[in-house]
């Protein structure tokens, strides 16, 4: 019997009427579709004031003078607050983690004190009775700036002649990591061929459709701060707000209702949000901040912005002998707090070459400060870079030795029977399925048929290309991500599940919902394990006063970690219910089960007592129960993976595209993904996570780019000039699965949130180079704009 067979027999999920593996609709969608959601921007509190920030128009400038007198005299204005004034309420922070050895950053204030370090950094706050009046007054704040030298080119950031943004740090190097595994020099020296390329990744951002927003309510009577915020990590916000406002965590409550898009943008602590908390305390009333779209582009974290030199050693038989990279990435003037801005480069080092059985690997990554907006973890942190570099090099190697891209992957992907195993960078893989995924995607896309069509159309002057991209994906992170580095960001999650007097169930979970389906997966698991129909399970999340303590929803951890906590808590409650039922029915708990909202005889299935009747007895007629029996119709369990620091998943993507060589436009014709996230709790939700992730990756591949000029000015900080994917230009996306459950949990679920974004750009770039192969052209830069294509073709 294999492990997976054994799991099926023993699983508590393998029960009558189980919701696991079923594409049931998410609860509460009607509310959102009827316009009855409650996003932070919808919240109105008594005495609520609105804050607007005056922001630096310069990338680097000393604040020589700041005069708020005229602004204070404007209608409706309550306060004009400078950085120095607010520093008395909110202490500064430094975005470092101890496990990222050598990472350095400078103290950052909620509002700049003396000096602004990027265009968009707040230099003053104006609080008024409405947002419009605050905006009017903000224009009247007189700021005199003295411009300072800017650092805006990552390639020269470390040169001796370049000015240093924070002189006390000595240089502009925030972090460097070097890795050398195996016999790299020997492998490159002995290989038949060595191919190298420089890969360039534009800066882009998440563009959540709801901008960042917060309502902070300091109740001086209770000495308590309630923060309404669309955050992925409420307990993290609670901790940080308390720490920097001089409060205890018990004095801070974080409430997270509906969140209008997140993708990693809303998992950080932003200076303007900290300022809003501080202003509420200072002014002793609720203060609301809603970013406008220009502010979002200038202050929501950016990501990527890497230049990565890659080399691959390959033999003519197709054997890949080594990978080597030298990655350079530009963050903002500060490492972001508290997760830091070094994680993406660290991930690139970890992940390059990850799908392949190649023991020789060398990497250097350097992270440099810039006078640009801060960068930090955005969906699929580091994955798109690692995947594009790895898969770009593999295709270039295949091209050099005249091998089909499929054949070289078959030759080198880690065998499906090789697990458990580890990568040269030390990643431990429990069970991956690269070859099964490759076989599946080739069948889905009819690879041979597409190749024939490509050849046929080429004769008509139509240039189509096929691109493949295998990837690995970090999910279910334990304490290795942040906890070991000293950040108070929990890696465990908890669920409390309770049977109420009517027989309905309430589940409180510490994971959060931003549309992925956290509520649904919790209700599906609890309903399945308890034997209760989903419509009787109500899920409560996003409130530090109400839910167990936990990490939240990020890094594809909700289903795998929060889901397992739900499973374990429901198991305990089920046992507790059966103890009571056995007492009432004068039976043995082991002879009973719960099916379809009733306790039944486990053998015959005969309904013995409805759950609502059992609950009635427990709550209203406990006098009728046997002496000494105290029913506990509530149970809490927590979970964190301990055997593996991360649960790796794997997958492969394929793109089918057409390049118009006259205009440089790239048309996406079809896209395929096969991935392996272990147990599928709700296949439809997994598919939609992947499709959404793919389109964010396609945006990065073709359109999305925060374009800075040499003075550090963001030149396209609006939705008309910063292009995101629209319905008209996106392809249909086919999704398939291989299922290798993790044995670390009874649920067996891994994450799926990063997979789509991880490999989409790599697949498209490889497809474009495939389409242009006959021109002898290779492009290793994204976004793949028409200008870039035409330049590569020598047409402009």
For residue 182, which of 423, 471, 431, 472 has the smallest C-alpha distance?
423
Compose the 234-273 pattern: x for residues touching another protein by CB under 8 A, - for all others. Answer: ------------------------xxxxxx----------
Site string for another protein, 741-780 (x = CB under 8 A): ---------------x------------------------
Examine residue 562 and say whether the peptide bond preceding it is cis (omega within 30 degrees of 0). no
Helix (H, G, I), strand (E, B) or coil at 431: coil
Binder among 146, 147, 292, 545 for another protein (CB under 8 A): 292
Closest contact distance (angstroms) between CB of 210 and another protein is 5
According to the binding rule CB under 8 A, does residue 669 interact with another protein?
no
Q: How close are the terminal C-alpha atoms of the chain, in Å? A: 63
Nearer to another protein, 43 or 792 (CB): 43
- Cβ atoms of residues 269 and 237 within 8 Å: yes
Does residue 476 come out as left (phi exceeding 0), alpha (psi in the -120 to 50 range) or beta? left
Closest separation between CB of residue 720 and another protein, Å? 5
Task: Considering only residues 118 through 137, tell me which ones interact with another protein, judged by CB under 8 A.
Answer: 132
Interacting positions 678-737 with another protein (CB under 8 A): 684-685, 688, 691-696, 718-720, 724-730, 732-733
Least Å from the CB of residue 372 to another protein: 22
Residues 58-77 close enough to bind another protein by CB under 8 A: 75
Build a one-symbol-per-residue string for 188-207: x at contacts with another protein by CB under 8 A, - elsewhere: ------------------xx
Among 5, 35, 46, 317, binds another protein (CB under 8 A): 35
39 near another protein (CB under 8 A): yes
Residue 209 in the binding site for another protein (CB under 8 A): yes
* Number of residues forming the site for another protein (CB under 8 A): 57
46 touching another protein, by CB under 8 A: no
Q: Copy the structure tokens of residue 754.
A: 């990063």
Sequence-distant (6+) residues with CB within 8 A of 628 are none
- From the list 32-40, 525-533, 585-593, 628-636, the region that binds another protein by CB under 8 A is 32-40
Binding mask 552-591 for another protein (x = CB under 8 A): ----------------------------------------
- What x-and-dash track marks residues 513-552 binding another protein by CB under 8 A? -xxxx-----------------------------------
Quick check: 784 and 723 in contact, CB under 8 A? no
CB of 303 to another protein, least distance (A): 14
Q: Mark out the alpha helices in 493-556 (DSSP H runs).
A: 518-530
Q: What is the DSSP letter of 626?
A: P
Task: Give the binding range for another protein (CB under 8 A) out of 29-37, 87-95, 444-452, 618-626.
Answer: 29-37
Binding residue for another protein, selected from 7, 15, 42, 619, defined by CB under 8 A: 42
DSSP 597-614: TEEEETTT--EEEEHHHH
Q: In terms of DSSP bridges, do strands 537-540 and 505-509 run parallel, antiparallel, or are they unpaired?
A: parallel
Q: Return the DSSP state at 141.
A: -
Among 210, 300, 493, 564, binds another protein (CB under 8 A): 210
Instruction: Check if the beta carbon of residue 598 is closer than 8 Å to that of residue 610.
Output: yes
What pairs with residue 648 in β-bridges?
Answer: 474
26 binds another protein (CB under 8 A): yes
Shortest CB 178 distance to another protein, Å: 36
Partners of 737 in beta bridges: 675
Task: Quote the least distance from Cβ 129 to another protein, whole Å.
Answer: 12
Among 20, 40, 41, 229, binds another protein (CB under 8 A): 41
Question: Of the candidates 498, 475, 555, which has an alpha carbon nearest to the alpha carbon of residue 263?
Answer: 555
Q: What is the dihedral of CA 184, 187, 189, 191, to 10 degrees?
A: -150
User: Which of 15, 691 has the CB closer to another protein?
Assistant: 691
Contact present, 606 and 784 (Cβ < 8 Å): no
Q: How many CB atoms lie within 10 A of CB 623?
A: 6
Q: Could you tell me the smallest distance in angstroms from the CB atom of residue 31 to another protein?
A: 8
Token pair in block for residue 620: 């209203």
Q: Which is nearer to another protein, 132 or 189 (CB)?
A: 132
Footprint (CB under 8 A) of another protein, residues 594-633: none
Cβ proximity to another protein, 418 vs 726, nearer residue: 726
Packing angle of the helix pair 447-458, 434-445 (nearest 10 deg): 50
Residue 305, CB-side half-sphere exposure with 13 Å CA sphere = 32
Collapse the DSSP code of 580 into the 3-class scheme (helix H, G, I; strand E, B; otherwise coil) and give the result: helix
d(CA 660, CA 789): 9
Count, residues in the chain: 796
Strand partners, 52: 126
* Residues binding another protein (CB under 8 A): 23, 25-26, 29-30, 32-39, 41-42, 75, 132, 206-211, 258-263, 292-293, 514-517, 684-685, 688, 691-696, 718-720, 724-730, 732-733, 756
């Amino acid at each position: 019997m294999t492990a997976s067979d054994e799991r099926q027999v023993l699983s508590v999920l393998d029960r009558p009427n189980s919701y696991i593996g079923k594409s049931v609709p998410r609860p509460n969608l009607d509310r959102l579709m009827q316009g009855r959601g409650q996003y932070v921007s919808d919240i109105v509190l008594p005495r609520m004031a609105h804050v607007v920030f005056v922001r630096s128009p310069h990338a680097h400038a000393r604040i020589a003078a700041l005069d708020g007198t005229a602004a204070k005299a404007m209608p409706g204005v309550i306060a004009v607050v400078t950085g120095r004034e607010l520093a008395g309420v909110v202490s500064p922070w430094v975005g470092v983690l101890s496990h990222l050895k050598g990472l350095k950053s400078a103290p950052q204030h909620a509002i700049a004190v003396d000096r602004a370090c990027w265009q968009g950094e707040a230099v003053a706050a104006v609080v008024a009775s409405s947002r419009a009046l605050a905006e009017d007054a903000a224009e009247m704040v007189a700021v005199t700036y003295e411009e300072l030298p800017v650092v805006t080119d990552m390639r020269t950031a470390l040169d001796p002649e370049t000015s240093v943004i924070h002189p006390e740090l000595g240089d502009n190097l925030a972090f460097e990591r070097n890795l050398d595994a195996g016999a790299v020099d020997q492998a490159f020296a002995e290989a038949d061929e060595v191919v190298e390329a420089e890969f360039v990744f534009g800066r882009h951002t998440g563009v959540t459709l709801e901008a960042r927003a917060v309502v902070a309510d300091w109740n001086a009577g209770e000495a308590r701060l309630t923060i309404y915020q669309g955050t992925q990590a409420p307990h993290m916000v609670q901790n940080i707000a308390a720490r920097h406002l001089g409060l205890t965590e018990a004095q801070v409550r974080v409430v997270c209702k509906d969140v209008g898009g997140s993708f990693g943008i809303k998992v950080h602590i932003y200076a303007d949000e900290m300022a809003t908390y501080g202003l509420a305390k200072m002014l002793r009333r609720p203060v609301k901040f809603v970013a406008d779209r220009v502010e979002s582009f200038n202050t929501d974290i950016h990501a990527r912005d890497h230049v990565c030199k890659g080399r691959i050693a390959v033999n003519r038989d197709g054997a890949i002998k080594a990978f080597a990279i030298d990655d350079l990435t530009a963050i903002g003037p500060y490492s972001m707090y508290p997760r830091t801005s070094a994680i993406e480069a660290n991930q690139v080092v970890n992940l390059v070459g990850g799908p392949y059985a190649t023991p020789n690997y060398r990497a250097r990554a350097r992270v440099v400060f810039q006078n640009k907006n801060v960068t930090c973890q955005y969906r699929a942190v580091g994955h798109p870079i690692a995947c594009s570099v790895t898969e770009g090099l593999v295709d270039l190697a295949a091209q050099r030795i005249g091998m089909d891209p499929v054949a070289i992957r078959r030759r080198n992907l880690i065998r499906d029977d090789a697990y458990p195993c580890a990568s040269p960078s030390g990643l431990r893989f429990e069970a991956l399925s690269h070859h099964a995924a490759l076989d599946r995607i080739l069948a889905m896309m009819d690879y041979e048929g597409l190749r024939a069509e490509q050849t046929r159309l080429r004769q008509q002057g139509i240039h189509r290309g096929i691109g493949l991209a295998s990837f690995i994906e970090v999910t279910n992170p334990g304490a290795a991500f942040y906890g070991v580095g000293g950040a108070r960001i929990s890696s465990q999650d908890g669920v409390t599940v309770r049977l109420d007097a009517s027989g309905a169930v309430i589940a409180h979970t510490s994971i959060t919902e931003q549309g992925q389906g956290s509520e649904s997966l919790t209700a599906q698991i609890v309903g399945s394990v308890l034997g209760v129909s989903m419509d009787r399970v109500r899920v409560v999340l996003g409130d530090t006063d109400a839910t167990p303590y936990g990490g939240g929803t990020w890094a594809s951890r909700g289903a795998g970690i929060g889901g397992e906590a739900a499973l374990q808590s429901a198991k305990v409650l089920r046992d507790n219910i059966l103890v009571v039922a056995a007492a009432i029915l004068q039976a043995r708990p082991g002879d009973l089960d719960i099916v379809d909202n009733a306790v039944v005889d486990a053998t015959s299935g005969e309904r013995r007592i409805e759950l609502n009747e059992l609950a009635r007895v427990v709550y209203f007629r406990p006098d009728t129960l046997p002496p000494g029996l105290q029913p506990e119709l509530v149970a809490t369990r927590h979970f964190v993976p301990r055997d593996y620091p991360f649960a790796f998943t794997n997958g492969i993507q394929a793109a089918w595209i057409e390049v118009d060589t006259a205009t440089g436009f790239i048309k996406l014709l079809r896209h395929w993904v096969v991935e392996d996230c272990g147990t599928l709790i709700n296949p439809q939700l997994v598919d939609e996570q992947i499709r959404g992730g793919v389109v964010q990756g396609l945006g990065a591949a073709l359109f999305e780019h925060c374009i800075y000029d040499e003075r550090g000015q963001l030149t396209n900080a609006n939705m008309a000039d910063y292009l995101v994917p629209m319905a008209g230009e996106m392809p249909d996306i086919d999704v398939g699965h291989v299922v290798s459950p993790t044995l670390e949990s009874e649920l067996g679920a891994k994450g799926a949130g990063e997979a789509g974004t991880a490999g989409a750009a790599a697949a498209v770039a490889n497809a474009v180079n495939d389409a242009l192969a006959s021109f002898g052209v290779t492009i290793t830069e994204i976004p793949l704009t028409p200008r870039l294509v035409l330049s590569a073709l020598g047409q402009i």
